[in-house]
Structure 1
């Protein structure tokens, strides 16, 4: 019986605890409701207005109004939007000028000098120095240079390289000087195919795969700059740029009289010829293709020939 009394007391105490907790929660909710109802009407009005502005801002199209339906009205609407944008740009630039404490620069500044300075335009090396510097700079970038007396000797050099490297496909530009190399009679009897770019008139799309399959590409340089160690190769319908870009190895035939000192000597004729005469591709080749990733791991021959040799003729 004593135990029954204890259980009843404990049950009563637990009931009182739960009831007290519920009473506290109810009182808190009632207090919160009272505070909300006591909030000033201005605050509620501002909250409603803010919500309305947010909804209208989301629904409102750029420019403040929906685009008109008629074409003429739409042009006027777009013109007004453009003027608004210009006014905002002007205000932005005016603000920057004000912060810098100086007036805006509204006219192109006068350039006292244009192009290379006079002393650089007059700078020249002797023919011997040009050949030596071209070799030095080109070989420093991983290229090779061979000085040969004439085109026939250059043809024999390429044929020897083809035998040594077991080249099976050679592609050359359609140039009269390259025909004098004599590659066809020297190599075709040995099973090496020598093709001339676009010789069948099939066009670029047909010849791109052949250029990619070629072991050797043979091109005629349009010029070279000894100071940078670069040869210049222009593209044309009869001498596609793929001949110098896609084969595994590249041989550049460079007549000695086309070797200049400065790069500007090669660029000036292009500028003087005008845009209408500008070729589709003007390539300055300063050695084999060299590519490196962010860790500076150097790879040769990824984006172009991995072996590039200049044949300096004369």
Structure 2
């Protein structure tokens, strides 16, 4: 029985692949040359220079004062169907959430396991609502609890006025399902976390490096919206259909 010349087969395959690549590149060159000819100019074959990286200096230094940040965020968030309330303190936040739960006839709610939300005492203030605190029971099916919830309550990590965006990070105590699955989302936004530009938020993640990144970074700009090819807009298909941003402090 004859031996198989593995080296010859491999060399033959490499030659065949090289031939295919050469043919592909030749077709690509002919295609691009044809476009350049129709445009009446020579084809660009070298990459353009990029002397600048990132946002220009004037944009990095751009910042609105706090009251304008609040006004711009409010306008932008409301323009896409979100709701914004300006509240003096966390006690006002508790009253708002309790009143909204009564108005919506809510029966189930889920919230992040955060010290600021723990201190609100929502469970005592709303005994008629079954409140689940994320990841406090290892036997619980937390995604299911969030999916059945009428209301989800989160503490926002950052917000950007220019884009009307909330930034919510995921961690062991801050499951992404709390903001993604309930019918209504109530996002508590301390005003000191409200920035002018989205870049002010993104640069923090860059500075933290790969090892310092959270499990998830979620940008929320109003209620869930989805449109088909005929531009029929539907609200609440892939997330909460109602979103409240509660701007808290410095009134």
TM bucket (normalised to shorter chain) is 0.7 to 0.9
The answer to whether structure 1 residue 193 and structure 2 residue 130 are counterparts is yes
State yes or no: 1:292 paired with 2:216.
no
Unaligned 5+ segments in structure 1 are 1-67
Note if 1:135 corresponds to 2:74.
yes
Q: Cα distance 1:294–1:118, how it changes in 2: closer, same or farther (>3 A)?
A: same
> Residue 246 and residue 113 in structure 1: after superposition, are their counterparts in 2 closer, same or farther (change >3 A)?
same
Give the match for residue 237 of structure 1.
172
Q: Which consecutive residues of structure 2, in runs of 5 or more, have no partner in the other structure?
A: none
Deviation at 1:98, TM superposition (A): 4.9
**What's the counterpart of residue 88 of structure 1?**
23
Match of 1:226 among 161, 164, 167: 161
Aligned ranges 1:67-86 → 2 under 5 Å:
75-86=10-21
RMSD: 2.3
Corresponding position: 1:148 with 2:148: no
Q: Which residue of 1 aligns with 2:45?
A: 105
Between structure 1 and structure 2, the one with the greater Rg is: 1
Find the counterpart in structure 1 of residue 193 from structure 2: 258
Distance in 2, matches of 1:75 and 1:175, equals: 60
Q: CA separation in 2, counterparts of 1:158 and 1:147? A: 13
The 2-side partners of 1:69 and 1:104 are apart by: 48
Taking the aligned partners of 1:135 and 1:83, their CA distance within structure 2 comes to 59
Query: Could you tell me how far apart the structure 2 residues matched to 1:158 and 1:209 are?
Result: 22
Matches within 5 A, 1:45-64: none
Partner of 2:203: 268
Q: State the TM-score, normalized to the length of structure 1.
A: 0.71
Rounded to whole Å, the distance in 2 between the matches of 1:73 and 1:262 is: 61
- More strand per residue: 1 or 2? 2
Q: Does 1:180 align with 2:119?
A: yes
Between 1 and 2, higher relative CO (CA 8 Å, sep ≥ 6) is seen in 2
Q: Do 1:94 and 1:104's aligned partners in 2 also have CA atoms closer than 8 Å?
A: no
Aligned residues: 242
Partner SS state of residue 128, structure 1: helix
1:98–1:303 CA distance, 2 compared to 1 (3 A) = closer
**Mean CA deviation greater in 297-306 or 94-103:** 94-103
2:8 and 2:135 mapped to 1: Cα distance? 55
